[in-house]
Chain A
């Protein structure tokens, strides 16, 4: 009897279901977009029911595509974007739309908390995370202040993947990786802290917070109703699952101290495994890793490979036609163009801030150092380099906090490009490995399921059996100094643009 594992990955824009065999080979994957809704300025929502229905459809279609018997799926793991919040009432029904992790409605609360000596500083030693507006701590405080009638009805306040798990099994649990990133949890002592909740003014929320279990522990089994909606077999075990940035690390085989996992997608996510918590207020998050006994230090921003999508949408019609004619992707054509220039082959500098920034909030993207002798190839290469410099900012913060690092694994859209991967190696001055699998986070979730149902002895064993690398790039000693010289100018430009950015923001209001 063949056996399979199902990994579910709910990103911010796509719900995916991927079925793997026990060697980690992808048998079928199905994904559907879920709209982000912007009902008011600063609000970013996803309809909870739609998220569930879309996920259920993706599961059903993946099973069909694989042409397997659903009963051969022996375990299910969930991963999803962290933070934001999905509320259900005391009957278990969705309580309003889910809030996405880039929502900014609670920014006033966070601003108030950020006063010297305020809530942020006092909470930090417990939560080890820099509170931001889309974290459940801030969102729950916002609901209590601004929507008390909703707040009163809260039965469970879930991270995204736990809401899906709740719909699959009826069980209300979280896991340590997700809950330790919410600013609601005392990670060192592995407990909810009533003092902390009181500090936020939401001491009464405690009964609604899901209890974390290990990512690979069985949380429940697929209910009859969920089976009907998804095509899964009733009773299939579902494990605790994990925050997607953990799932990506696990799926990339990053489970040892000194390994860096870089996700170059919409977000520039840079995370490193440590044995002791890496406590530094300059770093975004220090959370419990899905693999017991380890910690994950993460620094991130919305500054990565998606910048290229914008460029391709606007400026790469010629490349799209060329790609169609050759039967390859437009991104491969872009890679060829970028590779046609030598390392440090452009004096043009790009700040990758089209979708967000990792400096001041009003920072915007830009191309600098343009001369009439530069071509589109120079501009495109600058974009690739700028994205890597954005990652370098984060990696340097992790380094400054004392994170040990001896190699990195690169996933996300950027990992599909050999020239980009080499650039990461040269700029970060680290060997870069790129995993062979495409659905890394789903694989990470499926690995946890496999451990939970006993097909793997543990994470080491599972990764040995399922995770394979596609390539490895060594940093080139002749290239690194050229890139770092350019990076110094990139940094100078951050300073230079501080005031123009501030004034541009003021005008657009």
Chain B
């Protein structure tokens, strides 16, 4: 048997997963990702310690490899993960300062400066980026201001995946998708942008050379072999950004296939052959960037999603938890049974899912959430169903923007991610998509899609798969199709325009109430 390994560096877990060539999980292990607050004077500052990230990933890999009879069966390894967070290293590859985590608010002034002086419009027109407070370039600016001595000694600024690759094989490089989240990458030539480097004053020599995902990078060193249990000499291949890797095992790399990565955040992602970097696209809050699939671009819009169901569960889910304790089962089952018992349209209750602000297509961090349309007929089931419906209206908004405003073709829609296991939610999504777009949805139950995507890139890099399509043909699994309920679809088609009215109607009050200035 021949295996491939994927390492997934997530915000809460560091995972190592070993697959066979058909994409079945052969072994896996994980370690927690540890947030560190390094400075008592700035309790909100958050970093990842490079030794913990590498140590955790290596330990997870060692535990997974130990489950195999022969580590030599692993023919390639690739790393995927969260992106954005980077670390300065010296010429010998020693880290000089921890990773500033995306949780860390310290780069707000740099964010403001960038927004004013370089502007979101300019950045998008070159790099396809949405500006985030934690975008990589802003950390470099922070470092230049607050730790110039460290920056002077810095040889390269490596993103978190690039750092793990360095530890695995000793080579400093990055891939297009990691480079895309720095704010400094030019999507057209797929090279560092001279203009953005000049405008930001960041030195090109700090950045590693970018290559396409799936490029063979090096071999596992003796030291890395000792730490990970992998055989020395195992090929290390460039992976890519986590949600893009997740598109590979479900075949969402052809124009026309829209991928819905549905979890804490919901990311609606499509692939295209040319980058759309227009001002219209920029205003909708989408991101356009190089794909892990060769010669392709990704376009995606995202918004916070199941995080709001979790909020509801935390605040209003006691009874379900109690029932689960009494009768067995898990609270989610009781919650979803309540929601399923309510009619489509939740007796007129609607939820605006902006508890953490509005994402694509109406980027507004100061928007706030709301339950509207309540009457005495409304039950807790209606309230919860309204939350799910609100999240799905938000999802429709993103799909609609990609399709109607940005001309993204839409033939098939595949859902992956944590929410894909929630049958009620998926049925609701199917009813909405049928009501608005006359399409059906497919739900993938592929396990560890993100790590598998990285492993597929490893397989491509070492020649076990010809290309992405060949890799997909090997790992392809049938998706679950959800038959829409035509009555519910009709209800949602009528309610959706009212949902679309809520944000503009409530915007000014939300801004007045918002704690964010």
Contacts and interface: CB of A to CB of B under 8 A. Distances in A.
Given A496-B506, A499-B505, A370 B315 contact: no
Interface in A349-375: 349, 353-355, 364-372, 374-375
A317 interface: yes
A38 interface: no
A347 interface: yes
Contact of A507 (B371, B494, B513, B515): B494
Contact of A367 (B318, B371, B508): B371
Nearest to A377: B315
A369 B510 contact: yes
B488 interface: no
User: Interface size bucket, A side?
Assistant: 35 or more
A504 B376 contact: no
Interface in B361-381: 368-376, 378-380
Interface in A250-279: none
A364 B514 CA distance: 23
B512 to A, nearest CB: 6
B517 interface: no
Contacts of B380: 314-315
A500 B316 contact: no
Interface of B is mostly: helix
A314 B374 CA distance: 13
A499 to B, nearest CB: 6
Given A315-B380, A500-B505, A369 B513 contact: yes
Interface in A407-432: none
Contacts of B369: 369-371
Contact of B509 (A372, A493, A500, A504): A493
B374 A368 contact: no
A500 B368 contact: no
Interface string A375-387: 1100100000000
A368 B498 contact: no
B311 interface: yes
A372 B375 contact: no
A343 B309 CA distance: 28
Nearest to B320: A317
A374 B356 CA distance: 11
A369 B515 contact: no
B239 to A, nearest CB: 31
Contacts of B370: 366-370
Given A372-B356, A504-B373, A364 B318 contact: no
B375 A365 contact: yes
Which of B308, B345, B513 lies at the interface centre, i.e. has the most chain A CB atoms within 10 A of its CB? B513
A371 B355 contact: yes
Contacts of B497: 503
Contacts of B318: 317-318
A370 B369 CA distance: 4
A503 B499 CA distance: 11
Contact of A379 (B308, B315, B345, B354): B315
A489 interface: yes
Contacts of B311: 372
A492 interface: yes
B170 interface: no
Contact of B498 (A365, A366, A500): A500
B383 interface: yes
A410 to B, nearest CB: 23
A492 B512 CA distance: 11
Given A310-B376, A355-B376, A489-B512, A368 B355 contact: no
B348 interface: yes
A317 B322 contact: yes
A189 interface: no
A497 interface: yes
Contact of A497 (B315, B356, B505, B510): B505
A489 B513 contact: yes
Interface in B49-63: none
B506 A347 contact: no
A74 to B, nearest CB: 42
Contacts of B515: 347, 371
B330 interface: no
A115 interface: no
B22 interface: no
A440 B495 CA distance: 45
A369 B509 contact: yes
B483 interface: no
Nearest to A347: B513
B82 to A, nearest CB: 20
A163 B501 CA distance: 49
Contacts of A507: 345, 348, 494-495, 498
Contacts of A504: 348, 350, 373, 498
A368 B350 CA distance: 11
Contact of A489 (B308, B501, B502, B509): B509
From A314, A492, A508, name the one whose CB has the most chain B CB atoms within 10 angstroms. A314
A405 B76 CA distance: 82
A369 B368 contact: yes
B505 A315 contact: no
Interface string B478-517: 0000000000000000110110011001101110111100
Given A370-B369, A504-B348, A496 B376 contact: no
A500 B372 contact: yes
B371 A315 contact: no
21 contacts: A314-B379, A314-B383, A315-B316, A318-B319, A321-B322, A349-B509, A354-B378, A355-B375, A366-B370, A368-B372, A369-B369, A369-B370, A369-B509, A371-B514, A372-B308, A496-B505, A496-B509, A497-B505, A504-B350, A507-B345, A507-B348
Interface of A: 310, 314-315, 317-318, 321, 347, 349, 353-355, 364-372, 374-376, 379, 489, 492-493, 496-497, 499-501, 503-504, 507-508
Given A349-B513, A504-B373, 9 more contacts: A368-B509, A368-B513, A370-B370, A370-B371, A372-B308, A372-B311, A379-B315, A500-B372, A501-B373
Interface of B: 307-308, 311, 315-316, 318-319, 322, 345, 348, 350, 354-356, 368-376, 378-380, 383, 494-495, 497-498, 501-502, 505-506, 508-510, 512-515
* Closest 4 A/B residue pairs (Cβ): A370-B369, A317-B319, A365-B374, A318-B318
